[in-house]
Amino acid sequence: MEITAFLARKLARRFRTYDSDGDGFIERADFTQAGERTTKAFGLAHDDPKALRFHDMLIALWEQLSAVADQDRDGRISVEEYKKAFANGLLETPESFDEGYVPFLDALMAIADEDGDGKLTLEEHVAWTGALMNLSEANARGIHDLLSDEDGLLSTQALLEAIREFYFSEDPAEAGNWLLGSLD
């Protein structure tokens, strides 16, 4: 996969959302802390089945990412290692992305979509993006407004399509490219 200047900016932005403690590296603890913040934001106990599934999915995501990206095997991933993993084919096609990401999104939606209708309200979207990725409320509101339907709800399918655009589209006009707000 070619890492264009635009994709490099998006990956750097995504990296910062993973780096919970802001130390310049992604580590397993960043994933566990993000999971704890997310389940807490939705009032779930540690032993709630939805919380357990979500934490398991986060750890599986960390293990997959570290197996591919942690080139020096020091237990942490630098932004350079992260970008290199994409250049080496971490996400080769939208289909391979779906195989790995859809189960994670399903586990997330089981928590964030509190009424289980397959759609996120503005409040649910702001809560999960803030807790999981430290996204500002303004950025979360902006992307929700951009992606939501006429009723102000964001469907799981629309969110998945936006996430795919984030990783695979080079068109700055595509809504998914701004999924995490400004790329600066």
CB of 130 within 8 A of CB of 41?
yes
Question: Model pTM?
Answer: 0.90
Say what the pLDDT of residue 96 is: 72
Domain spanning 5-178: CATH 2.40.10.500: no
CB of 180 closer than 8 Å to CB of 166:
yes
Q: What pLDDT score was predicted for residue 90?
A: 65
Q: Which residues of the chain have pLDDT under 50?
A: none
Structure-token pair, residue 114: 């509190």
Question: What is the per-residue pLDDT for 56?
Answer: 95
- Kind and range of the H or E run holding 40: helix 28-41
Q: Where are the domains of the chain?
A: 5-178
pLDDT at 18 (0 to 100)? 93
